[in-house]
Amino acid sequence: MAKTSTVIIDLGTRDELIQLYSWPNQPGSKESLPKTILHWFEKTLRNDGFTGAKAATAEVLTKGKTYQLQLTGPKGIEGYAVRLPIFLDHGRAALKRIEEIKEEDKQRAAAAQAAGKKQPKNHWDPRGLGNWRFFMPHGLAMLNQRSIQFFHYPPIRLLETDRDYLQDPVPKRWEELLVANGVPQKDVELYECVMDAVPVGALDDEGSAKDGGMPIDDFAVYQTTQVDLLLGEPNKAGYTMPIVVYGSSPRKRFFKSYKQGFPAAVVKAKAWNTEDPQRIVIKPGSKTPVLAMNHPYSFFMDIQDKKGAHGEEFIPGVVMNWRGGIRRMLESLIAARWQRAMAADPSQDPKAVYKDCQTFWGYWPTKKVTVKGRKQYVNRDQDFQPAADKKQRDAAAAMILHQASLEAGLTGEWSFVRSLADSKKIVSEFNRKGAVSQSSLLPAEKAETVNAMLAMLCPR
């Protein structure tokens, strides 16, 4: 019989934990603070793999004015006694930083008024909606993670509606990409140790400088300390797990924080580009493979011929731009495959691995043409040449699943395929017959759209 361990971890006072766990998560909820803490930490245990024969249990205890977390489980859980208190300390520092940001806003406003100048935009909640909330990445793998995913900030619905940091079209899409690249479904959460640069929940459109301007540069210390805490070192001496950075603002912020650890050529260029894997130094004595990509949600923008008010909304009934979508899909599939490969062995050459991933997915580079002696880049859609091969069909299958999961996330109901296996069956039928008929996997109202997409992406 496997030995069990019992660990007791000091969490802090009730007043501190109310802030650190954003309690109550849902306005008007009567759930107790201890139950809220358990709700999130039990997700961490599951996502770290402490399930089944390796299951661990958690209980919140009170000791005077402070709270404690008691864990019972197999060898390894003692790691939480080191990592969780530091994680919460970083949250305390971030809460203090929020108060400083608010005070700095007041000082700038007062100085502008005294000088008779226009009032500057606040860094905190610049649109004055009053719905920004402190929100740490609770519930994620913290000990056994295999990679870090560096994003901007979490959507507020993950706190107030879903109460699950991974219950969102963005992580769900990335999970599907990981599975498409051979990661077992039971392991996907180990690749999803999300490091949001700003621990603040807000609406989806608060990240753009135009509409909101989530203050990513104001949390530089929080970012570097959290990355340092979560950046584990697998069984490869001198190397850490990989980091994938998503989106323009996070990429610029990440480069600014770790600029001196990048190769000299990148530092000289003063910018780090997407799809440009590098090996950098974050922890002294160790090398970290890093990759910057477009935000996963940009796929849903690219497949639409029209954009929503802020560019990212899914518009039902809009004709789909499948060519733009398949290009973005292939880029994402390549990045997910790179993430899996570098997590397995971070000592590999990140650029060589990326090229191998491109080859696997049949990626075609944007062509260069000469027009009157000048170099000009062809639009990525114009040089699209669909290939009737398995990789192209797998990418198309992933696109069908993404559409289904996005609609499910927006409506709360699944209307067609529920897994990559389901969507592959649809693509296989198209490959055999040249069209997909109505079925339990594909209702009549979806068949026309899916057939049109497959006719373009998967010629027979």
Q: Do residue 102 and residue 161 come from a single domain? A: no
Instruction: Enumerate residues 6+ apart whose C-beta is below 8 A from 175.
Output: 166, 185, 188, 192
What is the pairing mode between strands 243-246 and 148-151?
parallel
Long-range pairs, 407-411, Cβ under 8 A, ≥24: 407/314, 409/168, 409/169, 409/172, 410/169, 410/314
Give the CA count within 13 Å in the CB-facing half-sphere of 231: 24
Note whether 250 and 150 are within 8 A (CB). Answer: yes
Q: Do residue 376 and residue 399 come from a single domain? A: no
Q: Do residue 292 and residue 374 come from a single domain? A: yes
> Looking at 107, 124, 141, which one is the last position of a domain?
124
Q: Do residue 414 and residue 426 come from a single domain? A: yes
Q: Do residue 198 and residue 258 come from a single domain? A: yes
Q: Do residue 153 and residue 110 come from a single domain? A: no
Q: What is the mean pLDDT of residues 438-458?
A: 74
Nearest by Cα to 361 from 312, 405, 383, 328: 328
The CA distance from 300 to 73, in Å, is: 41
Q: Do residue 194 and residue 49 come from a single domain? A: no
DSSP-assigned letters across all residues of 166-226 = T-SHHHHHHHHHHHHTT--GGGGGGG-EEEESS-EEB-GGGGSTTTT---GGGGHHHHHHH
What is the pairing mode between strands 193-196 and 148-151?
parallel
> Looking at 124, 141, 166, which one is the last position of a domain?
124
Q: Do residue 212 and residue 354 come from a single domain? A: yes
* Predicted local confidence at residue 457, as pLDDT: 63
Q: Do residue 222 and residue 354 come from a single domain? A: yes
Q: Do residue 318 and residue 435 come from a single domain? A: no
> Looking at 328, 363, 385, which one is the last position of a domain?
385
Nearest by Cα to 209 from 247, 245, 154, 259: 247
What pLDDT digit, counting tens, does each position of 364-374 carry?
554 333 323 32
Output b/e per residue, 336-365; b: 16+ Cβ within 10 A.
bbbbbbbbeebebebeebbeebbeebbbee
pTM higher than 0.85 for the full model?
Answer: no
Q: Do residue 264 and residue 318 come from a single domain? A: yes
Q: What is the mean pLDDT of residues 114-132?
A: 93
Q: What domain range includes position 187?
A: 125-385
Q: Which helix (H) or strand (E) holds 448?
A: helix 444-457
Number of domains into which the chain is organized: 3
Note whether 303 and 108 are within 8 A (CB). Answer: no
Q: Do residue 331 and residue 406 come from a single domain? A: no
Q: What is the mean pLDDT of residues 72-85?
A: 97
What pLDDT digit, counting tens, does each position of 277-294 carry?
999 999 999 999 999 999
